[in-house]
């Protein structure tokens, strides 16, 4: 029976067993939930299909959000793959990751079906990054499904050691965790060993430390939707760094603890209260009034 | 530690786990407590629910739950139309109330036969909920396990009799909480079970001495 409560423990378990991190996480989950290994994998397969459906929907059917504030950006950035391909700096794969992530976030804002990953606000990052890997590198769905367990393993640890909610730790906790999850999954898919996987997660999280949660009108739209697109690409960068041999100078668990500490220090105005940052800009306030009317404070 | 599918999951209708998925669950739980299709619903929204419900689809999510839809049901955004088809009339009232969780809803329901319930509960994060008040009784009901809710006269031996019947059914009790308003009057007991209790035993509890009502609430 495998168990872990820190990144160091998870990597050590994997290395000792000579297995990828995904296997450790699947075994632990099967044991904890008293299901078979195959049942647990089947459940994740369903989640992956739900993610892909959301991407298809978001890329093909531009739709406004409930508030009317956002919508329709996923098809735009996706068009950079084809029509405007010559002008794209990112290139196809990264552009596809960005479009996929924005697509899922827009579907969520339009009251479509998504998989929280780890939250609804950050629901596009992991699917977008993995969708791009799937489309350009790993055609088979099964390794992708397995890599989602690797992502989950890091999310579980960060949730336990720190937090994953914007209201608690700012956006670094929400989108930062999603970035670490995506980077870990990508690195395992690219053939990185457990150490490289852990460092990809650390690098991704480290570079988002301090990120505020200041959504306009308190809605999960601005800056959240485009941020999903940016951070899917960010995860690709972290994976490439880790695969190339780059290591985080600060060990992964310490990066997580730093995130927690910064989260505790962040003022309430930057923790999903819509009291500061972008939400408190003149335009942010005007949009809020436009959506909810004057009387609501 | 949370499980894999709490982190990669739940599958849900966006945009917000607390303001949409959790709201839907509050509706679902209220419906389960009523035990039938609601006919009228009055929903008071408090705090952040009151301030942002329209932008998060909180209102539609609660109605969807009241109609029996789960947080991942793709009909959720059309809940208002479906409510009309199914003859549910409803109203939402933003209110100010202090000392409660910021994402609180107070849901009053009646069904066709005139049964009513008043359920107060909060969306506590990640789509999870906590029912905090039922018909004036304070309680804690999260819906993570199937539960039995029993209103009884506060007399000696009542709880022993209930647990005895549950043991006879082979049921395993996860927790028991007895809440009484005033000594010697009515009390409410909430029993969380590992598995759902067979309906015959629920009926036997309901028809026991000193029991006013007994009903089950499924795991959400
Ligand atoms: S800014 Fe806040 S609401 Fe938006 S994605 Fe980040 S944590 Fe979530």
Choose the weakest-confidence range: A208-217, B77-86, B191-200.
B191-200
Q: How far is the CA of A271 from the centre of ligand 1 (A)?
A: 8
Which of A24, A111, A216, A285 would best serve as a mutation to test chain B binding (most B beta carbons within 10 A)? A111
pLDDT score for B101:
86
Tell me the per-residue pLDDT of A119-153, one tens digit each, with 9 for 90 and over: 999 999 999 999 999 999 999 999 999 999 999 99
- Shared-domain flag, residues B75 and B184: no
Q: How far is the CA of A174 from the centre of ligand 1 (A)?
A: 7
- A76, pLDDT greater than 80: yes
Q: Which of B141, B174, B202 is the last residue of a domain?
A: B141
pLDDT score for A145:
98
- Interface contact B3-A32, CB threshold 8 A: yes
pLDDT score for A82:
83
| B56 vs A196, higher pLDDT | A196
A79-95 in b/e form (b: 16+ CB < 10 A) is: ebbeeeeeebebeebbb
- A296, pLDDT greater than 50: no
Residue of B nearest to A297 (CA): B51
- DSSP line for B43-94: EEEEHHHHHHHHHHTHHHHHHHHHTT--TT-TTGGGHHHHHHHHT-EEEEEE
ipTM of the prediction: 0.96
- DSSP line for B108-147: EEEETT--EEEEEEEEEETTEEEEEEETTEEEEE-SSS-E
Domain that includes residue B198, residue range: 147-217
- Shared-domain flag, residues B111 and B173: no
B212 touches chain A (CB under 8 A): no
Q: How far is the CA of A153 from the centre of ligand 1 (A)?
A: 21
- Interface contact B7-A155, CB threshold 8 A: yes
Q: Tally the domains of chain B.
A: 2
- Interface contact B125-A167, CB threshold 8 A: yes
Binning pLDDT at 50, 70 and 90, where does residue A273 land?
Answer: confident
Which of A119, A121, A227, A284 is the best mutation target for the ligand 1 pocket, counting ligand atoms within 8 Å of the beta carbon and taking the most? A121
- B215, pLDDT greater than 60: yes
Residue of A nearest to B8 (CA): A117
- Shared-domain flag, residues B169 and B124: no
With a Cβ cut-off of 6 Å, ligand 1 is lined by A 121-122, 166, 171, 174-175, 213, 215, 220, 224, 227, 272
CA distance B55 to A83: 34
> In 10 A of CB B33, how many CB atoms?
21
Contact predicate B104/B46, CB 8 Å: yes
Please provide the distance, in angstroms rounded to a whole number, between the alpha carbons at the two ends of chain B.
Answer: 20
Q: How far is the CA of A219 from the centre of ligand 1 (A)?
A: 9
Binning pLDDT at 50, 70 and 90, where does residue A294 land?
Answer: low
Binning pLDDT at 50, 70 and 90, where does residue B185 land?
Answer: confident
- Shared-domain flag, residues B31 and B128: yes
CATH of the domain at B54: 3.30.1330.90
- Interface contact B9-A47, CB threshold 8 A: yes
Take atom 1 of ligand 1 and give the residue whose Cα is closest: A213
- Shared-domain flag, residues B131 and B43: yes
- A297, pLDDT greater than 50: no
Contact predicate B83/B76, CB 8 Å: no
- Shared-domain flag, residues B186 and B85: no
Q: Which of B96, B118, B141 is the last residue of a domain?
A: B141
Tell me the residues of chain A between 44 and 83 that have a Cβ less than 8 Å away from chain B: 44, 46-47, 50, 65-67, 69
């Amino acid at each position: 029976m495998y168990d872990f409560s820190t990144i160091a423990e998870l990597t050590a378990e994997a290395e000792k067993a000579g297995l990828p991190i995904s296997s450790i996480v699947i075994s632990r989950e099967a044991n904890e939930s008293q299901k078979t290994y195959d049942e647990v994998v089947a459940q994740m397969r369903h989640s992956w299909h739900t993610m892909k459906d959301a991407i298809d929907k978001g890329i093909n059917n531009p739709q406004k959000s409930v508030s009317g504030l956002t919508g329709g950006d996923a098809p735009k950035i996706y068009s950079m793959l084809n029509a405007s391909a010559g002008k794209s700096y990112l290139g196809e794969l990264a552009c596809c990751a960005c479009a996929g992530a924005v697509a899922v976030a827009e579907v969520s804002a339009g009251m479509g079906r998504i998989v929280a990953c780890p939250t609804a606000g950050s629901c596009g990052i992991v699917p977008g990054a993995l969708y791009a890997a799937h489309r350009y590198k790993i055609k088979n769905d099964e390794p992708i499904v397995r890599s989602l367990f690797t992502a989950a393993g890091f999310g579980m640890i960060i949730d336990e050691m720190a937090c994953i909610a914007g209201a608690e730790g700012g956006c670094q906790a929400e989108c930062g965790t999603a970035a670490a999850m995506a980077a870990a999954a990508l690195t395992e898919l690219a053939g990185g060993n457990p150490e490289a996987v852990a460092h990809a997660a650390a690098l991704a999280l480290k570079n988002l430390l301090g990120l505020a949660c200041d959504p306009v009108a308190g809605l999960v739209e601005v800056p959240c939707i485009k941020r999903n697109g940016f951070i899917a690409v960010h995860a690709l960068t972290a994976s490439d760094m880790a695969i190339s041999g780059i290591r985080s100078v600060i060990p992964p668990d310490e990066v997580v603890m730093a995130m927690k500490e910064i989260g505790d220090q962040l003022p309430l105005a930057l923790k999903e209260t819509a009291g500061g940052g972008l939400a408190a800009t003149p335009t942010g306030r005007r949009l809020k009034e436009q959506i909810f009317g004057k009387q609501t404070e | 530690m949370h499980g894999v599918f709490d982190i990669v999951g739940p599958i849900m209708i966006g945009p917000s786990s607390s303001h949409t998925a959790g709201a839907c669950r509050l509706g679902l739980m209220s419906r389960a407590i009523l035990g039938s299709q609601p006919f009228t619903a009055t929903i008071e929204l408090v705090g952040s629910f009151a301030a942002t419900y329209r932008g998060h689809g909180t209102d539609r999510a609660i109605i969807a739950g009241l109609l029996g839809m789960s947080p991942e049901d793709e009909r959720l955004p059309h809940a208002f139309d479906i409510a009309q088809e199914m003859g549910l009339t409803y109203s939402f009232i933003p209110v100010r109330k202090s000392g409660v969780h910021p994402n609180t809803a107070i849901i009053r329901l009646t069904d066709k036969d005139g049964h009513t319930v008043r359920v107060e509960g909060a969306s506590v994060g990640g789509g999870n909920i906590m029912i905090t008040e039922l018909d004036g009784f304070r309680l804690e009901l999260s819906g993570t396990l199937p539960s039995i809710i029993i209103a009884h006269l506060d007399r000696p031996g009542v709880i022993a009799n209930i647990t005895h019947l549950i043991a006879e059914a082979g049921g395993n009790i996860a927790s028991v909480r007895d809440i009484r308003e005033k000594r010697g009057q009515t009390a409410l007991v909430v029993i969380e079970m590992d598995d759902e209790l067979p309906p015959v035993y629920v009926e036997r509890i309901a028809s026991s001495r000193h029991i006013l009502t007994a009903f089950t609430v499924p795991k959400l």
